[in-house]
Chain A
């Protein structure tokens, strides 16, 4: 009997870890573009996620622009539609604020402009969080779909042990995988993708190769923002959220990107997946309030155990 419960819990943690982890993976790809490849320390990434959630919410439940799609299709189309909205927001942020403390302006400076980036994005994060409270209110909301309360049942696999697959999470999982694949192929095989990666990797060299670095940066930053926003839109279909939700996920995103290895899109995805797994398994042994604390501990362990390996360029040449 106890064994049945244990098996059931473990199997459900595995499936939840995979589904939620894939969405985290998508979220991490967004930060992976900005932090991993462009090396911009973006504190406000969690707020971009939050904007993605609210975009989807207003499109589907609040503004009802997409309500004709019904409660089944609406939330997921809404999540995808969050991408262009937040992409535009991200590109504007980059144009007016981020570009002043990153890219060619700071290449080769004392700390590559990280100090300025931390401060400016901290400011953006404060404005979006608190401004969000003014605009969206502080009552938690959710994108309503009956799918979040329904599940496919697998099994019973062992005795009475059954695996529950939440429908909203399952569809979100497939959408996340799809978006991640499309993005990966675009970055890896198209001209645009190559230019973006080149500009992000070494702005100075890219300029000499005739790439418009500033534009490339803006697109890359916007993409990073938009991708994270899609993940936010997908999550909005199964959690409730408020303007301060971003904060819990910033650390998850940084853990994922750092774990997966700086500068790698695929790595960021696997990193996010791993963090999702850890989180779901910690739910087996830890009370729910401590799950987020567990993520912080994991994050600290990751950066502490691999301090140099993570940041290839930091090797100090004497």
Chain B
């Protein structure tokens, strides 16, 4: 096809970069900066984490790699992803099966694969890749989008990786997959009636999924209903998190200061519970600023989707928006006791190379969509 070659060459044309969304990049950089500061504060009082420095340096290194990837991906025409949708899907399944087979054990779950001393959590990049796969499928079903078969096939495409991560068991990522599916189906224009019916089915199946969990996971999951039922046991983490968040007040206790107090009791505070650090150190003001940043970022992403040249681009944008929204909701929600406790990273803020690089990869695709939106085709 001559088209693909032409697009590839066009990718590097300078005029694309005039449409580069600076705001989108700005919010992303601010969020990463937020994460670096919070990670530093979280590690500050923990000697075993190297006084916070090691982690901070690592985060900056991952961010640098991620940003290079971001610009490279932005410069490439995102339609390549549509051409390659089928192989990408196979790669996703391969990565997740690989994780299951040779993954290292973390907290009793096989979630990552160690290569050359570096841990890769393939479930992170799988989320972004699955968005492109679903976008390719849904974009191709524009004229039959109202049919039940569209929803069923999209659901089946998503079900395989969802079950694979659920088996790890990585409850959080499974939840994000389901959220992405729901968001993208909704935005694709799928029949609301059928979607509602299927949603009811999924909710009905929840007790089965819950029964497949290990005891401690189940206990943690339901802590949010009554965290003080078992404050020293399964809900220890949540109770400590609530105390830490609550003690932040209006303006917080100051960076690195909070760590001397309550928050020190919270395990994995630099990862899944990073929001406690924000809330305790920077208080309500800091929390709201962070939420506002996510709001602004979501606005820019939805704008990219709205202005996208084609359905494929739009679907990718709303997929990424869905992913970010559900991760923010579940992660922040669990820390403040309105969501069950599951392991979901707070996008850009949670410490972790796999998550950060995958997100910047996704943001690169967004820029690519954005930069090609104003071509005279629509």
A and B together in one complex? no
| Chain B residues engaging chain A, CB cutoff 8 angstroms | none
